[in-house]
Structure 1
Amino acid sequence: MVVLAVPIAAFAQDIGTLPQNLTAWGMFMSADWVVKGVILALAAASVVTWTVLVAKSLELSKAAAGERKAFTAIDGARSLSAAAKLPDSADSPLIAAAVAELKLSADALDDHDGLKERVASRFERIEAALSRRMTKGTTPLGTIGATAPFVGLFGTVWGIMHSFIGISQHQTTNLAVVAPGIAEALLATAIGLIAAIPAVVIYNHFARQIAAYRASVADNSAAVLRLVSRDLSRGIAGKADIRAAE
C-alpha cells in the first residue's frame, strides 16, 4: 500500500495543476503563435470555401436557368431570324455568333458545309469561354482541399514538438506540462479537417454542376446549328431568312 501512495499522490498533483479552460477558444488563446497562425489561416480558408459556395451556386443557377430557357426557345423556333427575336434567346452569344458568321459569309452562302463548319468553330470557342468563366473561382476549393490537411498537420507537429520542449524544460512528464501542447496539436488537426472536407465536397459538386452546364451550352449550340442548316436547306427562302436575321 505504501508503494502505491507515491504514484497516486503524484497523479493527484498532476490533476490539480491541469489547465481548467480546455475549450476550443481556451486552447486557441493559450496556443503557441505558430499554431495560432495555422488555425487562423485554416479558418480564413474555410471562410473562402463557404463564400465560393454561395457566390458560385447563385451564378451557376442563374446561368443554367438561362440556358434551359434559351434551349426551349431555340429548339422551338422555325428559323434563325425567328430565334433571334425571341426574348429568351435574343441575348444568346450563340445566336449572335451565328448571325455574325452568316453576315461575313453573305457572298458564300452556297457553300453549306464550309459555312456550317465556320459556325461550329465559333460555337466551340464560345463553349470553351463559358466553361472557363464558370470554372473561375473554383480553383481555390481544390487548393484548400489538397493543402488544408497538411497545414493542419504542420500545426499538429508543432504542438507536439512544443509539448516535448515543455517536458525538457520542466524535467517532468506530468499532464500539466504535456496537455496544453497536445490539445493545441489536436485542435490544429481538427481545424484542418474542418477546412478540407467541405472544400473537397463542394469542389466535386461544382465539377458536376459545371459539366451539366457545359452540356446545356452544347445542346444550345447544336440547336442553333440546326437552325442554320435548316435555313440553308430552304434555298432562296432560307437565304432571305438569314439576311433578315442580320
Structure 2
Amino acid sequence: MEAETLALAQEIDFSLWGLYARATIIVKLVMWMLVIASFWAWSIIIQKIILYRKARADAAAFDRRFWSGEPLDELFDEIGPEPSGRSERIFAAGMMEWRRSHRNDGGLIAGATARIDRSMDVAISKETEELQSGLQILATIGSTTPFIGLFGTVWGIMNAFIEIAEQQNTSLAVVAPGIAEALLATGLGLLAAIPAVIFYNKLSSDSDRIVGSYEAFADEFATILSRQLDS
C-alpha cells in the first residue's frame, strides 16, 4: 500500500505551474492578485529609488551654486521662475515672493518675511507630496498581501479536506497536492509583502531626509533674506 501511495505521489506535478493549474478558481484569483501586487510594489520601489537619487543629485548641485557667492538675483534670473530642480523650485518660490514684496519706490511691503516663509513652505509641501506619493501603496501591499495569501491558503486547505471526504482517502497522493497548492498562496503573499515592507521603511526614511534638507535650506535662505531686510 505504501509503495502504491508513493508511486501515485511521484506522478503528481509539484512544480509551480502544476500547483497553479490544479488550484481552484478562487485560489487562482488570489495568486493573480498577489503577483500583480508584487509587480506593482516593485514598480513603485524602482521609480522611487530613481526619483530620490535624482533629487539628491539636483539638491547637491544647486547647493554648490547657491553657496558659490553668486548674487541671488542673478542666480534666480538664470534658473527662472519655473526651474526643473526641486531645491531650485523652493528657492524660486522665495525669490518670487521677495520681488513681489518690493514697492515701486524700492521699499518693502510689510510682512515680507512671513510671506516668503509661507511661499517656501507651500513649495516644500508640494515637493513632499510628490516624493511620498506611492509610499502608502507600498504600506498597504506590505500589510494586506499576507492576509490575502492566507485567505487563499485557507480556501485551498478547505477544498483539500472536502476532496478527502469525498474520496474517503487520506493517502499522501490525495492530501499533498491540495495542501501544496494552498501553501503556494501564502508563499506568494509573503513574496509580495516582505520587499514592500522593507523598502517602505527605507524609502520613507530617505524621503524624510530629503524633505529635511529642503526645510533646512529654506530656513537658511529665509535667514539670508531677513538679514537683507534688516539692513
Contact 1:73/1:89 (8 A) holds in 2:
no
Calculate the TM-score normalised by the size of structure 1.
0.83
Instruction: Tell me if 1:104 matches 2:100.
Output: yes
Unmatched 5+ stretches in structure 2: none
**Structure 1 residue 15, shift from structure 2 partner:** 1.6
Counterpart among 8, 15, 18 of residue 17 in structure 1? 8
Q: Distance in 2 between matches of 1:90 and 1:43?
A: 40
Runs of 4+ residues over 6 Å off in structure 1: none
Larger gyration radius, structure 1 or structure 2: 1
Counterpart among 186, 191, 203 of residue 206 in structure 1? 203
Please, what is the CA RMSD of the aligned residues? Answer: 2.1
Per mean C-alpha deviation after superposition, the further-off stretch among 214-223 and 98-107 is 98-107
**Structure 1 residue 78, shift from structure 2 partner:** 5.7
Unmatched 5+ stretches in structure 1: 1-8, 235-246
TM-superposition CA deviations, 1:150-179 (whole Å, max 9, x none): 000001101110110001110111111111
TM-superposition CA deviations, 1:10-41 (whole Å, max 9, x none): x2222222243111221111111111111111
**Structure 1 residue 216, shift from structure 2 partner:** 1.8
Say how many residue pairs are matched: 223
CA separation of 1:166 and 1:110: change in aligned 2, threshold 3 A: closer
Identity of aligned residues (%): 34
**Structure 1 residue 220, shift from structure 2 partner:** 2.2
**Structure 1 residue 87, shift from structure 2 partner:** 5.7
Instruction: Tell me if 1:149 matches 2:146.
Output: yes
Alignment-derived partner of residue 49 in structure 1: 41
Q: Distance in 2 between matches of 1:165 and 1:36?
A: 18
Contact 2:27/2:156 (8 A) holds in 1:
yes
CA separation of 1:110 and 1:137: change in aligned 2, threshold 3 A: closer
Residue type of the partner of 1:213?
A: I
